[in-house]
């Protein structure tokens, strides 16, 4: 029973470390907010800037997994090219080595628990503060305290379990001097990281084991575990890309290829490599007093050298992953979401960018649906009319599904830790998708009006009526185009932009009122039948109603 409790304590300590890493990372993400989005979006003009961006962002948020998932998300949303993503991924591998250095410097040598509780006391009032940024600082300090508290407890749990003795016993049955055991440790490191979903946690365990001076577990075995951890960390981006588009899958594959290739190169020159790192740490820097520096130095050297080795071949890596994952036969993607997927919820703040892209696509499809109505208006051939009407029906079903799927996604994102501005942004997005679905309904109603007229009224619209309908359609189309352009931009709408939208709305309203009054006069004058007048006014009023939904969307971002 005692052993079982000790095992649970070890797992719980690891869980506390992972939780601390998670909320610290999320707190920093929210503090960075739009700045991080701008950094990742703008500082990737070439592969070298991409690498530096990856290093900086990962060192800041202390999670290469979070950075690579962001990158996959951006590629999925079309905000970053595959070539840019490869550079950022290379930099993320270097940035994640900061964690190992922090652990090596203070993780197991200083009683962090003595510092953790005062940190929690400082973080507590910040955590319950009303201001978003102050609260985010509180989250960061909470995560920082939990992270090192977990490290401290992890070390104590390992001692109570006599992990060193048990591992020494297992290693005594292995010919550790033989090279074939090195790939075995690489495999162990890979599996351990895949299970933990965190290379930082795996590195903490590796450093802990190495610091125990276990017979048979030396620098070579610790290095092999570290190499495996570099492979295992790619699983997070891979899982995130499973439900994403082909470009995002290629970005995840590039991450896997980059790390696996580097590991293969090091294994080919394994002992010369580790001897070079030992010489660098002990003879050049004179840091033989702390053995943990050896593993941290290797981790950094491996990722830096791997980046330097492959950075000149980014175009070739891009071509390779495109060859492995070719574009399949073009399918009808109009019936599904293009940018959002259920597997990209680990970075809630940044997933809003993908939701914005999907809403922009939603607006584009609604506009295209309105263009189909415009074509339907002038279609005389019965077979073409039926085909086009069926297409509008299909689009109406698509808009219904898109509303539900985007809204569901946004609600799942809202369950994460978000800044106040991001929460407000989600509310605006939910309103936008609701209004866009209403625009789809209006387009379908316009098509139904034309179908009912075709079935029940043999009388054609007069030339004057067609002129008025065409003018109303032009105004509505302009309104839709303006809305579509506004949704595509990353910045809030300006006063001039919203003023232009309101001017269009007023013009449409006035034109609708004018045409309704004139319609009664024309019917009284016998220019056309009452039945034709009903279809005519219904069509005009539905266009005006559609424009109301457009202005509602514009007002969400005023």
User: How many Å apart are CA 300 and CA 100, to the nearest integer?
Assistant: 9
In this predicted structure, the answer to whether residue 131 has a pLDDT above a threshold of 70 is no
What are the respective helix, strand and coil percentages of the chain, to the nearest 5? 80, 0, 20
Residue 186 located in a structural domain: yes
Inter-helix orientation angle 64-76/82-95, to 10°: 170
Of residues 216 and 85, which shows the higher confidence score? 85
User: How many Å apart are CA 339 and CA 354, to the nearest integer?
Assistant: 6
pLDDT of amino acid 344: 46
Residue 335 located in a structural domain: no
End-of-domain residue from the set 291, 324, 357: 324
Do residues 94 and 233 share a domain?
A: yes
In this predicted structure, the answer to whether residue 363 has a pLDDT above a threshold of 70 is yes
User: How many Å apart are CA 54 and CA 408, to the nearest integer?
Assistant: 31
Q: pLDDT tens across 17-46, in order?
A: 777 767 776 676 666 655 655 655 555 566
Give residue 256's domain range.
Answer: 2-164+174-324
Do residues 310 and 392 share a domain?
A: no
Per DSSP, 312 falls in state G
Q: Answer positive or negative: Cα dihedral of 435, 439, 440, 444.
A: positive
Do residues 113 and 229 share a domain?
A: yes
Residue 498 located in a structural domain: yes
Q: What is the mean pLDDT of residues 125-135?
A: 73
Neighbouring residues of 63: CB distance < 8 A, sequence distance ≥ 6: 21, 25, 96, 198, 200
CATH number at residue 456: 1.20.58.220
Of residues 17 and 290, which shows the higher confidence score? 17
Q: Which of 79-93, 137-151, 327-341, 367-381 has the lowest mean pLDDT?
A: 327-341
The average confidence (pLDDT) of the chain is 80
pLDDT of amino acid 210: 77
In this predicted structure, the answer to whether residue 330 has a pLDDT above a threshold of 70 is no
- Tokens of residue 336, six digits: 């599904």
* Cβ contact 532:449 at 8 Å: no
pLDDT of amino acid 371: 93
Residue 331 located in a structural domain: no
Q: Which of 26-30, 257-261, 487-491, 517-521 has the lowest mean pLDDT?
A: 26-30
Do residues 480 and 540 share a domain?
A: yes
How many domains would you assign to the chain? 2
Do residues 435 and 524 share a domain?
A: yes
Q: What is the mean pLDDT of residues 199-219?
A: 76
Residue 244 located in a structural domain: yes
Do residues 194 and 312 share a domain?
A: yes
For 112, phi and psi rounded to 5 degrees?
A: -70, -25
pLDDT of amino acid 518: 92
pLDDT of amino acid 345: 45
Of residues 218 and 254, which shows the higher confidence score? 254
Do residues 371 and 310 share a domain?
A: no
Q: Which of 26-40, 125-139, 205-219, 370-384 has the lowest mean pLDDT?
A: 26-40
* Cβ contact 298:225 at 8 Å: no
Q: How far is CA 533 from the centre of its chain?
A: 51
Among candidate residues 225, 198, 199, the one with its CA nearest the CA of residue 210: 225
pLDDT of amino acid 165: 55
Q: Which of 79-88, 222-231, 340-349, 386-395 has the lowest mean pLDDT?
A: 340-349
End-of-domain residue from the set 271, 291, 324: 324
Residue 505 located in a structural domain: yes
End-of-domain residue from the set 309, 324, 339: 324
For 243, phi and psi rounded to 5 degrees?
A: -100, 10
Residue 337 located in a structural domain: no
pLDDT band per the 50, 70, 90 thresholds, residue 93: confident
* Cβ contact 324:393 at 8 Å: no
Do residues 314 and 413 share a domain?
A: no
Q: pLDDT tens across 222-239, in order?
A: 888 889 888 888 877 777
Do residues 412 and 473 share a domain?
A: yes
Residue 284 located in a structural domain: yes
Residues in the chain: 558
Do residues 191 and 269 share a domain?
A: yes
pLDDT of amino acid 151: 65
Q: Which of 50-54, 285-289, 487-491 has the lowest mean pLDDT?
A: 285-289
Do residues 102 and 195 share a domain?
A: yes
User: How many Å apart are CA 346 and CA 535, to the nearest integer?
Assistant: 51
Dihedral angle, C-alpha 180, 181, 183, 186, nearest 10 °: -170
In this predicted structure, the answer to whether residue 339 has a pLDDT above a threshold of 50 is yes
For 186, phi and psi rounded to 5 degrees?
A: -60, -45
pLDDT band per the 50, 70, 90 thresholds, residue 176: low
Do residues 233 and 267 share a domain?
A: yes
pLDDT of amino acid 114: 65
């Amino acid at each position: 029973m005692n052993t079982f409790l000790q095992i649970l304590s070890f797992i719980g300590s690891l869980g506390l470390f992972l939780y601390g890493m998670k909320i610290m990372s999320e707190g920093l993400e929210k503090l960075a907010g739009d700045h991080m989005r701008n950094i990742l979006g703008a500082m990737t003009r070439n592969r070298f800037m991409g690498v530096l961006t990856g290093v900086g962002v990962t060192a800041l948020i202390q999670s290469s997994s979070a950075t690579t998932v962001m990158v996959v998300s951006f590629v999925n949303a079309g905000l970053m090219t595959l070539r840019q993503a490869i550079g950022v991924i290379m930099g993320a591998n270097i940035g994640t080595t900061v964690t190992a250095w922090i652990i090596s410097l203070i993780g197991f040598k200083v009683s962090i628990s003595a510092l953790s509780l005062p940190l929690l006391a400082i973080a507590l009032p910040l955590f319950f503060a009303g201001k978003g940024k102050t609260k985010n600082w509180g989250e960061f300090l909470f995560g920082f305290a939990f992270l090192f508290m977990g490290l401290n407890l992890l070390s104590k749990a390992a001692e109570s379990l006599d992990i060193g003795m048990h591992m020494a016993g297992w290693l005594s049955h292995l010919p550790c001097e033989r090279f074939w055991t090195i790939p075995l440790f690489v495999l162990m490191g890979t599996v351990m990281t895949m299970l933990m979903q965190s290379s930082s946690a795996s590195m903490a365990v590796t450093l802990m084991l190495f610091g125990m001076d276990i017979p048979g577990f030396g620098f070579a075995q610790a290095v092999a575990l570290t190499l495996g951890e570099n492979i295992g960390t790619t699983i997070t981006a891979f899982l995130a890309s499973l439900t994403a588009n082909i470009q995002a899958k290629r970005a995840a594959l590039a991450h896997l290829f980059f790390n696996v290739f580097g590991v293969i190169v090091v294994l080919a020159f394994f002992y010369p490599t580790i001897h070079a790192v030992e010489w660098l740490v002990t003879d050049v820097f004179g840091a033989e007093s702390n053995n943990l520096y050896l593993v941290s130095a290797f981790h950094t050297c491996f990722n830096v050298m791997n980046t330097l080795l492959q950075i000149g071949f980014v175009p070739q890596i891009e071509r390779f992953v495109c060859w492995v994952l070719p574009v399949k036969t073009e399918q009808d993607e109009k019936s599904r979401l293009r940018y959002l997927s259920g597997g990209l919820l680990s970075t809630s703040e940044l997933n809003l960018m993908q939701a914005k892209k999907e809403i922009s696509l939603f607006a584009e499809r609604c506009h295209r649906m309105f263009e189909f109505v415009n074509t339907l208006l002038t279609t005389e051939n019965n077979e073409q009319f039926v085909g086009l009407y069926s297409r509008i029906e299909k689009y109406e079903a698509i808009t219904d599904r898109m509303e539900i799927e985007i809204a569901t996604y946004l609600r799942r994102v809202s369950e994460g830790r978000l800044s106040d501005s991001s929460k407000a942004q989600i509310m605006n997005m939910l309103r936008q998708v609701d209004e866009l679905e209403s625009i789809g309904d209006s387009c379908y109603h316009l098509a139904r009006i034309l179908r009912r007229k075709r079935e029940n009224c043999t009388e054609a619209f007069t030339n004057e009526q067609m002129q008025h309908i065409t003018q109303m359609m032009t105004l509505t189309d302009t309104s839709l185009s303006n809305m579509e352009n506004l949704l595509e931009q990353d910045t809030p709408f300006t006063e001039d932009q919203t003023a232009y939208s309101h001017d269009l709305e007023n013009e449409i309203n006035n034109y609708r009122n004018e045409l309704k009054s004139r319609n009664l006069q024309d019917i009284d004058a016998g220019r056309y039948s009452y039945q034709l007048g009903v279809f005519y006014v219904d069509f005009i009023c539905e266009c005006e109603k559609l424009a109301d939904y457009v202005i509602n969307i514009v007002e969400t971002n005023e």
